[in-house]
């Protein structure tokens, strides 16, 4: 059964504190998780206030469905990040087959 994993690198230029960073990350995670019924988690420690790495995972019986879903998540990530004053500087995803 295929699994799709996505990694999102965020740049949060306006973040002046850890609180600002957390607000953007939490909002993005909630919107993606609820909007697409996928697993979303922050993947790194807060090294700087202006950056974050988010991981996304989804599972399905169909690779075609997952490919379409990952494209939709990528589009939504760019839109949501922009709305939150952040930028998705890099997004990549891959299939993990069991």
> What band does 97 get if pLDDT is binned at 50, 70 and 90?
confident
27-61 residue pLDDT tens: 999 999 999 999 999 997 767 889 999 999 999 99
**Residue among 85, 77, 70 nearest 31 (CA):** 77
CA 17, 39, 15 angle in degrees (round to 5)? 10
> What band does 83 get if pLDDT is binned at 50, 70 and 90?
very high
CB atoms within 10 A of CB 22: 15
Half-sphere exposure of 64 (CA within 13 A, CB side): 0
pTM of the predicted protein model:
0.92
CATH number, domain 2-97, options 3.40.50.10420, 3.40.50.1360, 3.30.70.1120, 1.10.357.10: 3.30.70.1120
> What is the mean predicted confidence (pLDDT) over 68-84?
97
């Amino acid at each position: 059964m295929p699994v799709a994993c996505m990694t999102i690198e965020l740049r949060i230029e306006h973040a002046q504190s850890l609180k600002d960073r957390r607000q953007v990350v939490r909002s993005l995670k909630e919107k993606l998780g609820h909007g697409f019924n996928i697993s979303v988690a922050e993947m790194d420690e807060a090294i700087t206030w202006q950056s974050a790495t988010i991981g996304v995972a989804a599972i399905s019986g169909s690779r075609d469905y997952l490919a379409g879903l990952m494209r939709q998540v990528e589009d939504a990530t760019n839109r949501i990040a922009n709305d939150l004053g952040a930028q998705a500087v890099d997004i990549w995803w891959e299939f993990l087959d069991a």
